[in-house]
Amino acid sequence: MTLNQEPRRTYCLQPTTPKLSLPLGACDTHVHVFGPSSRFPFAASSNAIPADAPKETLYALHQRLGIQRCVIVQSAVHGFDNAASEDAIAHGAGRYLGVALVPLNVSDVELERMASVGFRGVRFNFMKHLAAAGSIEDIVAFTRRLAFFGMHLQVHFESDLIHGLAGPLARSAVPVVIDHMGRVDASLGSEHADFVALRQLMRNPLFRIKVSGIDRISPFEPGQAGPNYTSGIALAQLLVRDFPDRCFWGSDWPHPNHTHVPDDGGLVDALQQIAPDPVVRELLLVRNPHDFYRFEA
């Protein structure tokens, strides 16, 4: 951190308590942990210096929201050092699992070790603000190694990249999880080419998708009366309607690289619109993540 750079808090200190009561075993499949930086230093390559968002704060948030299970996704803030995520998994009493960041040349010994301590997949980013770990062809080839350890591939990409990534990703040797509804611009509607391509891709049973990030893909200007995630909710509704057995939900706490700090209680309450049928909502929050991530009963 430079002398002029102050850590930025990325989460709501007092989120509202949701009005929606979540089903027993509800899972948040997309969060991060930051630090504490005194124990788990941030990567020198990180282009963001957030305030600490440690496991204890995450556990307390989930208790407030009514969430019993979680998948921690390694953040670029810590780079390839997955120690903070691993520590949170280890102290999560079997209710917390993870998705790692690794270089393509990671050893099989390390992949096997990570799988044994609760990492269920590996994530690769194709985002302008993050350095790519490799070409899509190299990453698809890497999935053959993931298959051996029972791990899946998770991808995070700019929405317009879906047209070039769809073909190679369909050759993955393991299931592919797409982050944040492909980061489409929800204000462009369901008929925009990026979202049409996303829905087409999802017709392949190899793919899963996180209906997380309604707050990221909906237009929002800081200073407006309040966040309006209507357009993001509408796209999430379509995905859950069309692919109810292959959708997951995540809060994306603690909301790094964002235009604003969302209220996590409000994100939970949006589930009543995203999945208004309680049976489908239980599928989204409980059964799908339980089966895919292999949580213990």
Which positions are catalytic?
Answer: 252
Q: Across-strand partners of 129?
A: none
Tell me the C-alpha distance between 218 and 274, whole Å. Answer: 14
290 exposure class (CB count in 10 Å sphere: 0-12, 13-18, 19+)? middle
CB 244 within 8 A of CB 286: no
Distance CA 131, CA 230 (A): 31
Distance CA 163, CA 16 (A): 38
How remote is the C-alpha of 115 from its chain's centroid?
18
CA angle 33, 8, 132 (to 5 degrees): 60
Contacts of 135 (CB under 8 A, 6+ apart): none
Q: How far apart are CA 64 and CA 226, in angstroms?
A: 22
Inter-residue contact 221 to 189 (CB < 8 Å): no
At a CB cut-off of 8 Å and minimum separation 6, what does 4 contact? Answer: none
* Segment (H or E) for 236: helix 230-242
Q: List the beta bridge partners of residue 208.
A: 177
- The residue type at 159: S
